[in-house]
Amino acid sequence: MSNIILIGMPGAGKSTVGVLLAKSLKRAFLDTDLLIQAREDQVLCDIIQERGIEEFLDLEELIIREIVVQDTVIATGGSVVYRPAAMAHLQRLGCLVYLNLPLAAIAQRITNIQTRGIAMPPGQSLEALYAERQSLYRHYADLTIETTGMTAEETTTNLTRMLTKCR
């Protein structure tokens, strides 16, 4: 297992847990949302607003497919699961870990839904987005960790124990 790739909903803690996990495992850390922002010199919400969701997803896929790293913890954007080619590339790179957090907890954490840069059509509710993505996360995950009621540190500790089950 070369890389550990975190997938899940916005607000699930992928970036926070990713940094802690990278530190504890003495690995590099990569956040794909930050790669997109750096490449485009724009924040995600501006990219989505100006170009639309489909173009954003195409850009995300392009950037994901260019990643070539080893011994790295990668935090992905929540929308990465919409592009099978991006997910196939991530599967080749390492172990995909789904950070699962119930909708109620996601809703509490995401207070800035309009400015966060979430790839969702205007008028779609967070509930509908959550329902739409759950099966995709589960489909691609090598491991699923239930993070309900856990701090980022507890999630990291539990995940570290679970990683022995990764291919």
Residues 8, 164, 87: CA angle, nearest 5 degrees: 35
Tell me whether strands 3-7 and 143-146 are parallel, antiparallel or unpaired: unpaired
Is 121 strand, coil or helix?
coil
* Cα 133 versus chain centre, distance: 12
Q: Which two tokens mark 157? A: 């500790």
Q: Are 14 and 8 in contact (CB under 8 A)?
A: yes
Percent of the chain with pLDDT over 70: 96
**pLDDT band at residue 36 under the 50/70/90 scheme:** very high
The yes-or-no verdict on residue 152 having pLDDT over 80 is yes
- Residue range 27-45: mean pLDDT, rounded: 94
| For range 7-12, the mean pLDDT | 93
Asked if the 3-165 domain carries CATH number 3.90.79.10, the reply is no
Domain boundary assignment for the chain: 3-165
Backbone angles phi, psi at 81, to 5 degrees: -70, -10
Does the pLDDT of residue 164 top 90, yes or no?
no
What pLDDT shows up at residue 86? 97
